Structure 1
Amino acid sequence: MANEPGATEAPVGESAGPAGADGTAPRPRFVAVGAGRMGRGIAIAFAYAGHRIALVDLRPRSDEAWARLTTEATAEIEGALRGLARQGVLREEQVAPIAARVQLVRVDEAPAALAAAELVFEGVPETMEAKREAFDWLNRHCRDDAILTSTTSSILVTQLAALVRRPQRFLNMHWLNPAYVIPVVELSCHAGTDPEVLARTKALLEAIGKLPVVCGPTPGYIVPRLQALVMNEAARMVEEGAATAEEIDKATRFGLGLRFAALGVVEFIDFGGCDILHHASREMSQTIDPARYAAPAIVEDMVRQQRLGLKTGSGFYAYEGRDLAAYRADVLARTLAQLRSAGMWRGPQDETLA
């Protein structure tokens, strides 16, 4: 986690929403709509960072059903925080105060919570009907300057923007599970998303220790699109008998995973050379599957233009004028840091005589 949990009070400098109906506690600036797994994860992320957040359930429920939901949600939130305490990233006595920053809100209290919100996360089930109903609520009750987002993993931002009043304040926001642990949050904008709205959203996420990355209105965002290919190929290798699940997992954790933790995927292409990817793709397209392993046109073009990456001074990134020795040393330091973290680096051994 990037932020140490603070005291039970709101962080210094945090702006408060309008006071509640009883004139006491100000309402949270942040609202997660949908009290399921994703909403709870987002709530933990904000509460851990010192913010109060409303977790709104829009489904009408009996008193008994509401009591079951609140008990379940509270237990999950407290359980997740206790799991962090067991890992030493917070103290056990901080669990209850942090969990208390999450305010569970029933449907009849939702309008007041939404009216106070600066940033809203829609996380209802993945159907257009459910999304339409949720955004009807948000359109009616959120203030005009509130940023509205959807945490959908499957519906394009361009499809959902049509449901939003003032769509310039709308974007998709894809959190990676567990939402309160993984720093990356993927932001998918449509053509009408206001750049100022994007900047505000990024700043709010960065303030709680997250790392926002931006993509266009593309299926699968960035991470799911890449990881689906890797996971499917791993499953095929097991199916074909190429390797066992255990051997594949060792190779990915301590080979593929370590390298891509030190170097981004595109940076890795440049570091090794685009021609290496070109030749590897050609060989595997001939021996495994021509459709799965054919290099995209951009790789063919870069090889033809001799834009091979680090070794030619230009690739996906430009290297002209860069201190390449310092860059290589930085890459080595990043890689060694990952190896040390994984407990896989051994120091030099003294010579032994037979």
Structure 2
Amino acid sequence: MTEDVKLQRAAIIGAGTMGLGVAECFALAGLDVLLADETPDASQQALGRLSQRVRGQVEAGLLPQAAVKAASRVGAAADIASAVASADLVFEAAPERIDIKRDVLAAADAHAPADAIVATNTSSLPIDDLAEFVKRKERFLGLHWFNPPEWTPAVEVIPSAHTDQEILARAREFLLAIGKKPATVASGPGFVANRIQFALFREALACVEDGLATPQEVDEVVRSSFGFRLPFYGPFQIADMAGLDVYVSIMDVLSQGLGADWEAPKSLRDIVVEGRLGTKALAGFYEYGEDERAALLIERDKRYAALSQLLGEFAR
């Protein structure tokens, strides 16, 4: 049976930074939201913080005046049971401890309507493990938002082995409808974003520990070099534009000084041997036509020029 994509009522369990930010997004998208935190007083206090934050965003010109009224769609519930009783979507945003999430998910699943979607915001815990805490496993999945959730577009959508494909599709459609950019990923350590983000942080810290630069200098290098490209292109498309043969050569040098872990993977060497060198060869991780390649490079330069101008304005 095909389910209606439109979700109208949400329950958010956990009113910390992520829970409040997601509540704001849901309310501004027109949903009615109930928050439940550790105690009724904590839930009420969270409403006050949310109201204050939205008013501040309006005063700063970040949101229209109508956002203040929209935020009033968020209410406080006395407990988990009352929060989820009529919810179409239950969103667990409890602390990243499996024992806490176990209790929250079990309570939410026990009291939510039979047709509710139950989601966890875990950033690292295996989704299949968390699915064991709910009875309706086919309606459970991970929706990993990023801080600050009211501004960051991405949401990792992580199905468990039991998640119904209709529920997965419905969750993606909902996220698209409220202006987010969902990416369906498999459940693995850190999923995709945190695996990459913490690999970056690990090496940034190693650069400081090895005496290559201060934390401030590392931040400047990252912001002003490859970080400058990332608002527009991911690592594979950036590699295509640089040349995959160039990447192999650089990784060969890195491996000599930093060890075998830095050697170019066989999958990358195989692509290069096949002649798929990136945009210059019209094929790499992506396929390119002649006209498409030319348009890509022109568009890249336009985007970089516009970003340079914007960054210059913020630096004044």
| TM-score of the pair, normalised by structure 1 | 0.80
Alignment-derived partner of residue 315 in structure 1: 284
Alignment-derived partner of residue 341 in structure 1: 310
For residue 166 of structure 2, give the secondary structure of its aligned residue in structure 1. helix
**1:125 aligns to 2:95 (yes or no):** yes
Alignment-derived partner of residue 80 in structure 1: 53
Alignment-derived partner of residue 63 in structure 2: 90
Kindly provide the amino acid, as one letter, of the partner of residue 25 in structure 2: A
What are the within-5 Å matches in structure 2 for residues 25-174 of structure 1? 29-57=9-37, 59=38, 61=39, 66-67=40-41, 69-91=42-64, 93-94=65-66, 96-107=68-79, 110-174=80-144
CA RMSD, Structure 1 to Structure 2 (Å): 2.3
Q: Is the 8 A contact 2:43 2:77 kept in 1?
A: no
**1:231 aligns to 2:211 (yes or no):** no
1:281 to 230, 235, 251: 251
What are the within-5 Å matches in structure 2 for residues 196-345 of structure 1? 196-287=166-257, 289-320=258-289, 323-343=292-312
Kindly provide the amino acid, as one letter, of the partner of residue 77 in structure 1: L
| Deviation string, structure 1 residues 91-145 (Cα, Å, up to 9, x no partner) | 4x546423322111111xx434313111111122223322222222222222222
Q: Is the 8 A contact 1:262 1:338 kept in 2?
A: no
Q: What displacement does 1:54 show?
A: 1.0
Distance in 2, matches of 1:214 and 1:128, equals 22
Distance in 2, matches of 1:222 and 1:169, equals 22
Q: Is the 8 A contact 1:151 1:172 kept in 2?
A: yes
Distance in 1, matches of 2:240 and 2:61, equals 38
Q: Say if 1:50 and 1:308 are closer, same or farther in 2 by CA, change over 3 A.
A: same
For residue 115 of structure 2, give the secondary structure of its aligned residue in structure 1. coil
Q: Is the 8 A contact 1:118 1:146 kept in 2?
A: yes
| TM-score of the pair, normalised by structure 2 | 0.89
Distance in 2, matches of 1:209 and 1:15, equals 14
Q: What displacement does 1:192 show?
A: 2.8
Q: Say if 1:276 and 1:126 are closer, same or farther in 2 by CA, change over 3 A.
A: same
Q: Is the 8 A contact 1:261 1:338 kept in 2?
A: no
For residue 114 of structure 2, give the secondary structure of its aligned residue in structure 1. coil
Q: Say if 1:190 and 1:322 are closer, same or farther in 2 by CA, change over 3 A.
A: farther
Which blocks of at least 5 consecutive residues in structure 2 are unaligned?
none
Q: Highest CA radius of gyration, 1 or 2?
A: 1
Alignment-derived partner of residue 11 in structure 1: none
Distance in 2, matches of 1:331 and 1:96, equals 38
| Deviation string, structure 1 residues 183-241 (Cα, Å, up to 9, x no partner) | 11111122332222111111111222111111111211222111111112112222222
For residue 144 of structure 1, give the secondary structure of its aligned residue in structure 2. coil
Runs of 4+ in 1 over 6 A off after TM superposition: none
Kindly provide the amino acid, as one letter, of the partner of residue 134 in structure 1: V
Which blocks of at least 5 consecutive residues in structure 1 are unaligned?
1-13, 17-27, 346-354
Q: Is the 8 A contact 1:263 1:331 kept in 2?
A: no
Distance in 2, matches of 1:299 and 1:252, equals 24
